[in-house]
Structure 1
Amino acid sequence: MKSLNVLLSEIRLKQERVSQETSDPIEEAYQMTLYLTGILQEVRERILKNGFAAADQEVQFFRYIKPQILGQLMYYNKVFRIEAACPVHEGKLYHKFFMGQLQELKQEFKDYVCGSDFYRYYRSGRNDRDAEYFLRGRINFSDGLSNFVFEVDPQFSTYYDSRVARIIANDLIYVYLTRKINPDESSELLQQSDAAKEICWTDSKNALIELIYALHASGVISHGKIGIRKVSLVFQLLFRIPLGDIHHSFHRMKDRSGTRTSFIDHLKLSLESYMDRGL
């Protein structure tokens, strides 16, 4: 099985080729939907044929690899549906349409995602219950799960991998809709350089959000005159990672028990250790 980084790199290359070949967002979303559907089917066949050598490999696959493929598939399918339903291409009606889509996304997030124990578990970066959530055949029906649980493929799903995929898809859709609503704010930031394509963020999203807020609060970026949303877009662009509602995440950090700046504290200790090794 390919590593997550290799797989995502291949998907990014496909995205770039499709984007270059067509300027129509409907066609782009359609082609990517077909491509990702094929990737998911190919991966499923490999899993059913070869299985996993160990439980930790199974957890790795269902927590990280499959949700990335399925999450992007959900995203492109949603973009196709949105773009195909858009009544106009500019003006107040256009803006109102995308504002409505954003409100629907936020309501869906509020109703079905953010209030769950699993969402808090996943967003906090915990792994102590990974065997329960990301090994097949361990669905606990006493948790009061969605009826979707009866539709999943028990050989290729743990139920919760689809929940992670939905979180990833919602993050991507949120960024897509905010770009549609505020194109002037994000258009220049979305032009990625070739040099940044291999740069990726390998810690948690919460860690990156903590860093963004620290830089913003200290006023070290453009003398603090750029808004937090624009700073966030720069980092999402650089690391190719959707951060979703950073304000909501930040307010959760403010309520942390113990230290509220765990990542910044970690950076300080790491730098001091690195300095000491150079003596």
Structure 2
Amino acid sequence: MDNFYNELLYELEMEIDKLEIEADCRIQKIETVIHEIVKCLSKLKEYIQKRGFNNTEEEIRFFKHQKPVIVSKLIYYNAIYKIESKKPNETKSAKKYIHTELKKLKRFFDNNLEFYKYYRTNNTFIDDQLFVRGKYDIKLNLDTIYFETDHSFSTVADYKAAKILANDLIQVYLEDQLNNRHYKRVHRKSPLTWTASKTALTELIYALHSQGVFDRGNAEIKLIAKTFESTFNIDLGDFYHTFMELKARKINRTKFLDSLCEALIKKMDEQDER
């Protein structure tokens, strides 16, 4: 199960990265991304319905951690599509609109505070009620959407978990717009071009920032990101959003860094054998 899920998630993230780089029109790009996520979920659903789960623990892990990561991408991009479609062009009106959207996120948080606490602190004592199919208790304040979904591929709380992950990304996106953190593609000055994914570079940048390797640890993350953009001729776009997606991963959160270690050790071993 884990191998199939990880491979499917990796392919989806690579496809999204490619679209982020290649597509010029923001709205058109989001439409295509949504289409790719829907296809990914269809493959996942088909796999689950054919294979099932080995045990309850595997089922809980899937609906609590794995499926919400992909569904959160769908919620996020669908929300951004609506925001971009409806946002006024005039600056003052646009800011008012963004503040209104942020208030919506706050309302969801307030209305689901207990579940937020449960999920964020990784509690498990009622996982068998929240993340196992076919079990529900009306006293848990169920969302209407649960009764409208396919119960062979959903539980009472997997969508709410995805909504929490998505709202983190939406909040970053809105605050990013509010603070005018938009970096335009830089003119090519360096002979080197980054050809791996933007997600991989973002992972590397945040790792270097966490280690404090620049300016004795005093360099801001956005300055580091802009320097990498300029040096390697790449536009990272909303790298805050990308990092939030990395954080949302429950398995293999440092995939690129791990692959770097493996590649370097392999090269050292090969040279030792000569």
Do the structures match in fold with TM over 0.5? yes
Aligned ranges 1:1-279 → 2 under 5 Å: 1=1, 2=3, 4-88=5-89, 91-110=91-110, 112-113=111-112, 115-116=113-114, 118-184=115-181, 187=183, 194=196, 197-198=199-200, 221-222=217-218, 237=239, 240-242=242-244
For residues 112-162 of structure 1, the C-alpha deviation after alignment (integer angstroms, 9 at most, x for no partner) is 32x22x221110022333222211112122323233332122111112111
Please state how far the C-alpha of 1:4 moved relative to its aligned partner: 4.9
Q: TM-score, normalised on structure 1?
A: 0.65
Q: TM-score, normalised on structure 2?
A: 0.67
1:183 match: secondary structure? coil
Q: Distance in 2 between matches of 1:99 and 1:144?
A: 28
Quote the RMSD (CA, aligned, Å).
3.5
2:158 match: secondary structure? helix
Please state how far the C-alpha of 1:48 moved relative to its aligned partner: 1.3
**Long gaps (5+) in structure 1:** 202-207, 244-279
For residues 49-80 of structure 1, the C-alpha deviation after alignment (integer angstroms, 9 at most, x for no partner) is 22112222211211112111111101111111
Q: Distance in 2 between matches of 1:69 and 1:157?
A: 13
**Long gaps (5+) in structure 2:** 185-193, 227-237, 246-274
Does the CA-based 8 Å contact 2:169-2:241 persist in structure 1?
Answer: no
Q: Distance in 1 between matches of 2:164 and 2:217?
A: 30
2:244 match: secondary structure? coil
Count of residue pairs brought into register by the alignment: 217
2:122 match: secondary structure? coil
Q: Distance in 2 between matches of 1:200 and 1:230?
A: 11
Matched letter for residue 99 of structure 1: H
Judged with a 3 Å threshold, the aligned counterparts in structure 2 of structure 1 residues 197 and 143 are, in CA distance, closer, same or farther, namely: closer
2:101 match: secondary structure? helix
2:123 match: secondary structure? coil
Matched letter for residue 177 of structure 1: L
Judged with a 3 Å threshold, the aligned counterparts in structure 2 of structure 1 residues 71 and 195 are, in CA distance, closer, same or farther, namely: closer
